[in-house]
Amino acid sequence: MCDYKIVRTRDAGVFCARVVDLQDGVATLKDSRRLWYWDGASSLSELAMRGVSRPSKCKFPVAVETQRVMGVIEIIDMTETAYQSVKGVLEWTQH
């Protein structure tokens, strides 16, 4: 496993990030990337273990240095392979 996790929240979505603090369902994330839409993984569990097999179809916006998210309901350890897969997805942007 690597330092990065898949973090699922009740209302803010899903993130790939390093979790530096977690208290009462509020997580402080470093080097966070929202996983807005993914293709090539059937579930968050598969995404955390294997990554995505169709990176060109994924929509992962810009990474954020630090952020806090509330309503954390699931944290899944990622393999290094899965993290590199997510990291390799080109930034999805409207610019």
CA of residue 67 relative to chain centroid, distance: 13
How much is the pLDDT for 48? Answer: 97
pLDDT for 94:
87
CATH code of the domain in which 45 resides: 2.30.30.100
Residue 49 lies in a domain: yes
Name the stretches of the chain with pLDDT < 50.
none
How many structural domains compose the chain? 1
Whether 41 is covered by a domain: the verdict is yes
Confidence at residue 95, expressed as pLDDT on a 0 to 100 scale: 74
What does the pLDDT read at residue 14? Answer: 98
17 part of a folded domain:
yes
Q: Quick check: is 95 in a domain?
A: no
In a domain, 55, yes or no: yes
Q: 42 lies in which domain range?
A: 5-87
* pTM of the predicted structure, to 2 decimals: 0.94
